Amino acid sequence: MPRYEYRRFGYTTPPELSGGRPRDYKVAIVGAGPIGLALAIDLALKGVASVVLDDNDVVSIGSRAICWAKRTLEIFDRLGVGERMVEKGITWKVGRVYHRDRELYAFDLLPEAGHKMPAFINLQQYYVEQYLVDRARDFPELVDLRFKNNVIGIENSNSGATIKLETPDGTYNLAADYVVACDGARSPIRSMLGLEFRGQLFEERFLIADIEMQADFPADRRFWFEPTFHEGESALLHKQPDDIYRIDLQLGWDADPEEEKKPEKVIPRIKAIVGERPFEIDWVSVYTFQCSRLERFVHGRVIFAGDSAHVVSPFGARGGNGGIQDVDALGWRLAAVVKGEASEGIFERYNAERVHGADENIKNSARTTNFMTPKSDMEKMMRRAVLDLAAEMPFARRLINSGRLSVPCSLERFYNRHLSAAPLPPGRVAVDAPLEKNGEDTWLLSELDAGFTLVSFGGGAGPAIAGVRHMSVGADHGDLIDRRGFALDRYGTRLSYLFRPDQHICAVFRKPTEEYVRAVVDKELGR
């Protein structure tokens, strides 16, 4: 398999430095990582222009995100890149947990049928970023991608923010109504605004290696506690496209990161896992992880999303996947505010929802990392008891924590549950289902692709409301036909669900009158 070929995106002199007339920027996005790029596409799909500024001109290099969760793939699908990613990625849903050389149990992350997207794919971050850049370029009028534009200063005010940029042609200032800081874990914008990033640093080092090798290893995620092939506490193995495998090895806190990266140290460690098969090292790093976040994600006209707002240790794949959920929660709100359809106050709700999401991700990632790094003899003994009991007692398997993998964040706490008969309460993200539309196969989520949508399950008319689409789902008649029964099973019948533009349920009605529906939409938009 040919390995990924890094190509420079190229630099063009910005209009500000080539004598063009100054423009009026509504949204400036700092950082063309997965989060910044996804946000620019989401805004473009809603007709809102943005300028994306990145100090670099190439995709992410080295061993970074590989596991993309179902919800992320659903969001990517809404952005128009989900299918391409699934096609290239390695699909998996089973995780296997071993103690020494014995398999303790396996878990299935998507045991039911009737979903367009799989539980997980593995796809190197460089592919994800490249596909997002390709997609962003479908909107030349709406996404202004500027590589080698390094943000070196920022001034925040009540009516906008001005950023100072450094380019190969010199420096310039750019004023925007809103600046979204997607500038990663070391966020320069965070530092420039003097914001504190607080959390827990784990005293442990991990060797993370990507190797190229011909092998028929399964796509399953495989995790070992106290592996027989490595003297450290744990090992993790993942398969990626292009015959690349990701190996994470726990090294202990005393390991010397520089020493550990040397081929003479790395090669024997890998040989111990893969045996005598030939392999080539693609990338090796030694990482230390932390779980931290900003106290608030919204600071006047500067909004944080992705790693700039929160970072986690990677064992639940909650970093990038959490960041993409930020995009989901921010895109429609930012678009609505910029278009004058919503009040600025709704960013407070973005803040509350995503701080909640980040806390959930931090809690789960920290617990996993703590389980992987026992800090005292008693912690070690306790973990040993869990592993010993797990072989025979299923309850103990649930206590083994090799990663609580990324799931959609539920927003139930932000809504009142007023209809207890509804199988899905407000706050939950829509559950997909296969449907038929005009004789063609479709998916529920593919139909919830823009704006607020009211869906009547089991048929029924909906009120005509400006800005709210209505459709009906029925077993044999309606706008969408539920031939296989998944949708009616998941949503119930004679119930109408109102979905936000990010596919979250915001209300469930027996009788969706114009007045009720409008009131909910107005509240969401802060009107």
In 3D space, the residue among 287, 315, 336 whose CA is nearest the CA of residue 42 turns out to be 336
From ligand FAD, other proteins, none, which one binds at residue 319 (CB under 5 to 8 Å depending on kind)? ligand FAD
From other proteins, ligand FAD, none, which one binds at residue 460 (CB under 5 to 8 Å depending on kind)? none
Q: At what angle do helices 319-338 and 346-372 cross, to 10 degrees?
A: 180
Q: Which of 219, 272, 399, 424 binds other proteins (CB under 8 A)?
A: 399
**How many CB atoms are located within 10 Å of the residue 171 CB?**
13
The stretch near ligand FAD (CB under 6 A) out of 19-27, 32-40, 412-420, 455-463 is 32-40
34 binds ligand FAD (CB under 6 A): yes
111 binds other proteins (CB under 8 A): no
Query: Shortest approach of ligand FAD to residue 62 CB, angstroms?
Result: 8
Secondary element (H or E) of residue 471? strand 468-474
In 3D space, the residue among 483, 513, 519, 484 whose CA is nearest the CA of residue 496 turns out to be 513
Q: Which of 214, 376, 420, 438 binds other proteins (CB under 8 A)?
A: 376
Q: At what angle do helices 319-338 and 34-45 cross, to 10 degrees?
A: 30
From other proteins, ligand FAD, none, which one binds at residue 376 (CB under 5 to 8 Å depending on kind)? other proteins
From ligand FAD, other proteins, none, which one binds at residue 182 (CB under 5 to 8 Å depending on kind)? ligand FAD
Helix (H) and strand (E) counts in the chain: 14, 28
Nearer to other proteins, 58 or 110 (CB): 110
Site string for ligand FAD, 143-182 (x = CB under 6 A): -------xx------------------------------x
The stretch near ligand FAD (CB under 6 A) out of 58-66, 258-266, 375-383, 482-490 is 58-66
Burial per residue of 386-414, b for 16 or more beta-carbon CB atoms within 10 angstroms, e otherwise? bbebbeeeeebbeebbbbbbbbbbbbeee
Query: Shortest approach of ligand FAD to residue 302 CB, angstroms?
Result: 13
Query: Shortest approach of other proteins to residue 393 CB, angstroms?
Result: 4
The SS3 call for residue 262 is coil
Cβ atoms of 402 and 223 within 8 Å: the answer is yes
Residue type, 303: I
From ligand FAD, other proteins, none, which one binds at residue 370 (CB under 5 to 8 Å depending on kind)? other proteins
Query: How far is CA 292 from each of CA 288, 306, 365, rounded to the nearest angstrom?
Result: 13, 12, 11
Under the rule (CB under 8 A), what is the footprint of other proteins? 364, 367, 370-371, 376-379, 382, 386, 388-389, 391-395, 397-399, 401, 404
